[in-house]
């Protein structure tokens, strides 16, 4: 594969570009992550068990995986801005459908629709970073985009849960759809035009297979899978576990996400800066072993005070979410510019597949006698998460930067 020279992309304001991308990331991340703390609402409303709840989560990610594979065939045929605006519009429609869902099956269908657009959208966001942000600032930009998760945790999840407690869980999704509309306008006005990299005469299937099977990219694909599996075997079940097993009242659950998100809002930026200064591999090698401590403690936790839980879950969020920053920055830089759109779509597809597999694995391991009974076997999910992280430690040394 021959490398092509990087094209110059005109960006009116790098700060505005990052703000718009982070805002898009905020809403589509919030739409996904709010499903997890809303778990008890779904389980009580639809009388579902942990396995059925995990299907609600994984339906989004499996849909995003399929859409990502299909999108990878064509994503580089379109202007980045055009693709982003179209996908974000579809995501808003899917989220609005969640707001009117009144049954388990209808909500499942809405999650599938949201995933089809939202999953590909994530790859477009990081493709913009790779195309428009210089290599020396890419780690910092990635940290800022990852900070959208923190904002979703600090503001989005507590507010969404408060809305759910007063008006019902449907209104949480209605709020996300409404907030997304002005962001769509900002995206239309401020995202830079990045012309297609792929010639319209090329065969999209052959190009996809070329990128999927290109040996230099294989390590990036596998790294993304195991980094996500190392978190998502336990993350979807934190909120219900804290309620059922640890004894944290439902009204205090938003505090877990508030404090965790507040601290990671700053820690994600620090980790991004450190990744640029001392090396992305070194930061990853440090954060992953440290993350084993809160994973083990949390998945074995018994009755505890709210203060103890908040300290533990905050460290968990700092370290587990922190692993993604150096890994994503390396992955984004491991592709040649002409492949980046399709490559990032494939990466996003693997990310969504791993998220779905993690939720499915965790849901199949956990056992509960009733929709409100304590969970069993959460410790096994924790051991699996550590095993996946150990594999990621081996894989990251094989990821080589290109541009």
> What does CATH list as the number for 12-195?
1.20.1250.20
Q: Does residue 30 register a pLDDT over 80?
A: yes
Neighbours of 270 (CB within 10 A): 14
The CA-based diameter of the chain, rounded to the nearest angstrom, is 63
| Domain spans of the chain, in order of start | 12-195, 203-402
Q: How confident is the model at residue 5 (pLDDT cuts 50, 70, 90)?
A: very low
Summarised one tens digit per residue, pLDDT across range 82-132 is 889 999 999 999 999 999 998 999 999 999 999 999 878 877 887 888 777
**If DSSP codes are grouped into helix, strand and coil, which group holds residue 367?**
strand
What's the CATH fold of domain 203-402? Growth Hormone; Chain: A; (1.20.1250)
Q: Does residue 7 register a pLDDT over 80?
A: no
Q: Number of helices (H) and strands (E), helices first, in the chain?
A: 16, 0
- Fold agreement (12-195, 203-402): yes
Q: Does residue 146 register a pLDDT over 90?
A: no
Q: Does residue 175 register a pLDDT over 90?
A: yes
Summarised one tens digit per residue, pLDDT across range 282-319 is 999 999 999 999 999 999 999 999 999 999 999 999 99
DSSP states along 293-314: HHHHHHHT--S--HHHHHHHHH
Cα–chain-centroid distance for residue 48? 25
Summarised one tens digit per residue, pLDDT across range 216-249 is 888 999 999 999 999 999 998 998 899 999 999 9
Signed CA dihedral, 302, 289, 284, 272: sign only:
positive
What is the spatial distance between Cα 10 and Cα 159, in angstroms, rounded to a whole number?
37
Output the pTM of the full model.
Answer: 0.78
- Residue count (the chain): 403
- What is the structure's pLDDT at 215? 84
- What is the structure's pLDDT at 4? 41
Kind plus residue range of the DSSP H or E element containing 150: helix 138-151
Residues 350-384 as b or e (16 or more Cβ within 10 Å = b)? bbbbbbbbbbbbbbebbebeebeebbeebeebbeb
Give yes or no for a contact between 320 and 271, defined as CB atoms under 8 angstroms apart: no
Q: Please state, in angstroms and as integers, the Cα–Cα distance from residue 360 to each residue in 61, 86, 238, following that order.
A: 11, 30, 15
């Amino acid at each position: 594969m021959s490398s092509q020279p990087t094209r110059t992309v005109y960006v009116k304001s790098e700060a505005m570009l990052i703000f718009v991308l982070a805002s898009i990331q905020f809403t589509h991340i919030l739409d996904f992550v709010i499903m997890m703390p809303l778990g008890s609402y779904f389980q009580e409303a639809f009388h579902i068990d942990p396995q059925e709840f995990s299907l609600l989560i994984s339906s989004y990610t499996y849909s995003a995986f399929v859409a990502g594979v299909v999108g990878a065939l064509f994503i580089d045929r379109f202007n980045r801005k055009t693709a982003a605006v179209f996908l974000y519009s579809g995501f808003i429609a899917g989220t609005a459908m969640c707001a009117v869902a009144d049954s388990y099956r209808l909500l499942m269908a809405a999650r599938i629709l949201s995933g089809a657009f939202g999953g590909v959208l994530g790859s477009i966001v990081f493709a913009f970073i790779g195309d428009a942000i210089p290599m020396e600032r890419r780690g910092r930009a990635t940290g800022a985009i990852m900070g959208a998760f923190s904002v979703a945790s600090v503001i989005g999840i507590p507010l969404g849960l408060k809305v759910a407690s007063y008006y019902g869980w449907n209104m949480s999704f209605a709020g996300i759809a409404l907030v997304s509309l002005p962001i769509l306008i900002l995206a239309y006005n401020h995202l830079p035009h990045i012309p297609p990299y792929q010639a319209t005469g090329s065969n999209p299937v052959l190009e996809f297979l070329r990128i999927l099977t290109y040996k230099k990219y294989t390590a990036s694909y596998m790294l993304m899978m195991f980094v996500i599996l190392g978190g998502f075997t336990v993350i979807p079940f934190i909120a219900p576990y804290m309620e059922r097993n640890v004894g944290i009242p439902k009204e205090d659950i938003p505090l877990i996400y508030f404090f965790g998100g507040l601290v990671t809002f700053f820690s994600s930026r620090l980790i991004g800066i450190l990744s640029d200064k001392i090396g992305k591999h070194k930061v990853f090698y440090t954060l992953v072993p440290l993350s084993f401590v809160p994973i083990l403690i949390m998945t074995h936790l018994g009755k505890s005070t709210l203060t103890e839980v908040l300290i533990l879950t905050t460290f968990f969020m700092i370290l587990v979410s922190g692993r993604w920053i150096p890994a994503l920055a390396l992955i984004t830089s491991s592709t040649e510019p002409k492949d980046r759109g399709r490559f990032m779509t494939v990466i996003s597809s693997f990310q969504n597949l791993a998220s779905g597999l993690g939720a499915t694995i965790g849901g199949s391991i956990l056992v509960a006698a009733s929709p409100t009974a304590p969970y069993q076997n959460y410790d096994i999910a924790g051991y699996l998460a550590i095993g996946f992280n150990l594999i990621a430690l081996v894989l990251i040394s094989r990821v080589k930067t290109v541009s």
